[in-house]
Amino acid sequence: MKMELLETLARCRVVDSSEMTIPSEVIEELREEKLVLQKEFGEEPSRKTLYMLTDKGEVYIKQNMPEIREIYRGFIVEQDLALCDFYLRRSVDERKSWITKDDLIKKYRLPGTVDGAFMNREGKLVGVKVLNQTASYAAVEKVEGFLKAAQIEFVHYIMFSN
């Protein structure tokens, strides 16, 4: 369970405690090792308990989890929560094949415009993009341009609101 949480955090930045059933002993161990922070987010009654990686947690992942090349860097909690929700609904194989936007930037040498990608059951790379509900058409065109240049045939668009 410890490694599963760290893997999810590396690929999505945050995890809502209600999305993953993690024993309190595991959380406590990760907090004592200073690998994970536990934060409260939002106002009552919709307050959420979130888990996030610390700098020490990132170092731990880089040293102990070589299958994770780049750690996801998000800046908007709501966006990252939407990405995490989508990620956790993927099959085990799809999650294992997940690559972050920084992996894609390095692979294709293009400005990153999708938040992640994974291999589907047919072995095709599928993009994932989380957009604010107020995103402009230009933002979608930018994503579509990246997909065309990277020869990614399909993308899941996920909408979120602040």
Tokens of 42: 């939002």
pTM score of the predicted model: 0.93
Q: How many domains does the chain have?
A: 1
Q: Give me the domain span that covers residue 123.
A: 2-160
Say how many C-beta atoms besides its own lie within 10 A of residue 29's C-beta: 13
pLDDT digits (tens, 9 = 90+) for 62-108: 999 999 999 999 999 999 999 999 999 999 999 999 999 999 999 98
Tokens of 76: 């908007």
Task: Report the C-alpha gap between 154 and 16 in whole angstroms.
Answer: 27
Q: Does residue 150 have a pLDDT over 80? A: yes
Q: What is the mean pLDDT of the chain?
A: 94
Task: Report the C-alpha gap between 137 and 144 in whole angstroms.
Answer: 11
AA letter at 122: E
Task: Report the C-alpha gap between 155 and 75 in whole angstroms.
Answer: 21
Q: How would residue 111 be classed by pLDDT, with cut points 50, 70 and 90?
A: confident
pLDDT digits (tens, 9 = 90+) for 56-70: 999 999 999 999 999
DSSP of 51-99: EEE-HHHHHHHHHH-TT--S------HHHHHHHHHHHHTS-HHHHHT-E
Task: Report the C-alpha gap between 47 and 85 in whole angstroms.
Answer: 17
